[in-house]
């Protein structure tokens, strides 16, 4: 290989590295995200949840650009690519996708909140409260657990894909096994205070109780077979 070709080769590598370094994406825990946001006067804060979720409560000065909407990219073009962008959703997946898209679009500095609003609320950080009710109280929740039949509590959200996948078989179990288990589904978006008190900061979550005592606590997708096995064991 000639010296000229070697020089061109290394210049190409250096140029490519330089371009890669121009754009950065960071995934920050809620408290660090808050501190970084406060230290960035020219920050652009984007809530990528649905308008309904946004109305229920959001970060101060946040603008709402729904990741699941068809016009996300079009609306994102209104942002300044040279200014830092901070993005968050409810639990993380949507903001991860949105942050990657923004970086792909050429935004130089993108900061994503790890764990989303669920972690933010769990940390007791401030937000602009929505006008909706706080939902079920902890006292009401504890009252449900006093049932003589084992109680399976399903914490879910409409935007949660694994939750939607589990929903059909949970409805089926509720209809087919009323003497074996009482299934209670709690929408986390409508019960933010309860979720905070119970430390529910990611989804989906299943909690199985017997005689007011927590027997099984599951975070993440669970198959119908797994859930039925737990219910069967608790009834033996």
Cα–Cα nearest to 213, from 168, 151, 169: 151
Residue 160 known to be catalytic: yes
Integer Cα distance of 121 and 119 in angstroms: 5
Instruction: Choose, from 17, 89, 160, 195, the residue flagged as catalytic.
Output: 160
Q: In terms of DSSP bridges, do strands 151-156 and 182-187 run parallel, antiparallel, or are they unpaired? A: parallel
- Residue 184: partners with Cβ closer than 8 Å, 6 or more residues away: 144, 151, 152, 153, 154
Residue with tokens 């130089």: 108
Strands (E) across the chain are located at 24-29, 44-47, 57-58, 63-64, 85-88, 109-114, 128-129, 151-156, 182-187, 205-210, 213-219
- DSSP state for residue 119 in the 8-state scheme: H
Instruction: Choose, from 17, 89, 163, 195, the residue flagged as catalytic.
Output: 163
Cα–Cα nearest to 26, from 127, 132, 109, 140: 109
- Residue 87: partners with Cβ closer than 8 Å, 6 or more residues away: 46, 47, 48, 95, 98, 99, 102, 110, 111, 112, 113
Q: Which residues are catalytic?
A: 160, 163
């Amino acid at each position: 290989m000639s010296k000229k070709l070697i020089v061109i080769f290394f210049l190409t590598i250096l140029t490519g590295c330089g371009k890669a370094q121009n754009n950065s994406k960071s995934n920050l825990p809620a408290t660090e995200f808050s501190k970084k946001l406060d230290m960035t006067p020219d920050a652009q804060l984007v809530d990528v949840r649905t308008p309904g979720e946004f109305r229920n409560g959001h970060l101060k000065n946040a603008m709402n650009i729904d990741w699941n909407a068809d016009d996300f990219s079009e609306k994102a073009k209104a942002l300044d690519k040279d200014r830092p962008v901070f993005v968050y959703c409810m639990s993380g997946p949507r903001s991860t996708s949105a942050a990657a898209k923004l970086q792909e679009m050429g935004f130089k500095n993108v900061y994503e909140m790890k764990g989303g609003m669920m972690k933010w609320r769990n940390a007791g950080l401030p937000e602009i409260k929505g006008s909706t009710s706080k939902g079920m109280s902890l006292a009401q929740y504890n009252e449900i657990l006093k049932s003589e039949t084992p109680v399976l509590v399903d914490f879910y959200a409409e935007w949660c894909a694994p939750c939607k996948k589990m929903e059909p078989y949970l409805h089926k179990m509720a209809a087919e096994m009323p003497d074996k288990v009482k299934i209670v589904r709690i929408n986390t978006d409508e019960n933010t205070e309860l979720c905070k008190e119970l430390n529910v900061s990611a989804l989906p979550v299943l909690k199985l109780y017997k005689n007011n005592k927590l027997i099984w606590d599951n975070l993440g997708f669970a198959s119908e077979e797994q859930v039925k096995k737990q219910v069967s064991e608790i009834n033996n």
